């Protein structure tokens, strides 16, 4: 009988990062303790401090890892294919999938915004700039070929479009919207396309 190959064990550092992310999301940054994080990772606090030195540095590492993950998931370059609904639908799905994957940390940092503005800026602001630039490039190409209104500000569109999608995710996952994910995305795209089409 052939045995299944075992999955490689996570390194202590990676276990600590995952445990910290889960602890921060479930209990908030202030309430999360290094002891709870170490217990959750199956190691002791000495290991945590050897890898990260402090809870603050561990938090910074979690934010960095989450930002890198979001950035890698959100890479999307497209040229106008002639169907704005399909193209912007692709952008909307890429953004929504990426944001939902990192939603727990995003929510946690939104709540900590006043105490940790630089981390909020990194995870919710800076990380999305390349994606915004992809949308801007797409829209500018669409303007050149007469598919999109010339008076549209592409950067304003990118920011407002992704904000609407983020708001939709936060409302849906909080039980505040009767619309399911696909209806929210489809209707958001349809409304935005109506506003920018020639």
CB-based contact 47:12 (threshold 8 Å): yes
Token pair recorded at residue 8: 């490689």
Proportion of the chain in helix, strand, coil states, percent, rounded to 5 = 70, 0, 25
DSSP secondary structure letter of residue 131? H
Q: How many CB atoms lie within 10 A of CB 151?
A: 7
DSSP string, 140-197: HHHHHTTSB-TT--HHHHHHHHHHHHHHHHHHHHTT--SS-HHHHHHHHHHHHHHHHB
- Give the pLDDT mean for 114-135: 80
pLDDT tens-place string over residues 162-197: 999 999 999 998 999 999 999 999 999 999 999 999
Q: Where are the domains of the chain?
A: 11-53, 60-196
pLDDT tens-place string over residues 25-71: 898 888 899 999 999 999 999 999 999 999 989 988 988 888 888 87
Architecture of the domain spanning 11-53: Orthogonal Bundle (1.10)
CATH code of domain 60-196: 1.10.357.10
Q: Is the pLDDT of residue 127 over 70?
A: yes
């Amino acid at each position: 009988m052939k045995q299944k190959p075992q999955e490689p064990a996570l390194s202590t550092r990676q276990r600590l990062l995952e445990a910290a992310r889960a602890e921060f999301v479930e209990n908030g940054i202030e309430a999360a303790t290094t002891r709870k994080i170490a217990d959750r990772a199956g190691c002791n606090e000495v290991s945590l401090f050897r890898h990260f030195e402090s809870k603050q540095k561990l938090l910074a590492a979690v934010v960095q890892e989450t930002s890198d993950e979001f950035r890698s998931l959100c890479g999307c370059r497209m040229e106008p294919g002639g169907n704005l609904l399909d193209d912007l639908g692709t952008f909307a799905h890429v953004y929504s999938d990426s944001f939902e994957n990192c939603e727990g940390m995003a929510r946690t940092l939104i709540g900590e915004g006043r105490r940790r503005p630089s981390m909020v800026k990194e995870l919710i602001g800076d990380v999305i700039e390349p994606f915004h630039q992809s949308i801007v490039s797409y829209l500018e190409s669409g303007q050149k070929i007469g598919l999109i209104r010339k008076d549209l500000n592409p950067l304003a569109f990118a920011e407002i479009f992704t904000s609407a999608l983020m708001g939709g995710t936060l409302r849906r996952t909080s039980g505040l919207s009767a619309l399911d994910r696909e209806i929210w995305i489809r209707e958001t795209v349809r409304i935005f396309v109506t506003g920018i089409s020639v």
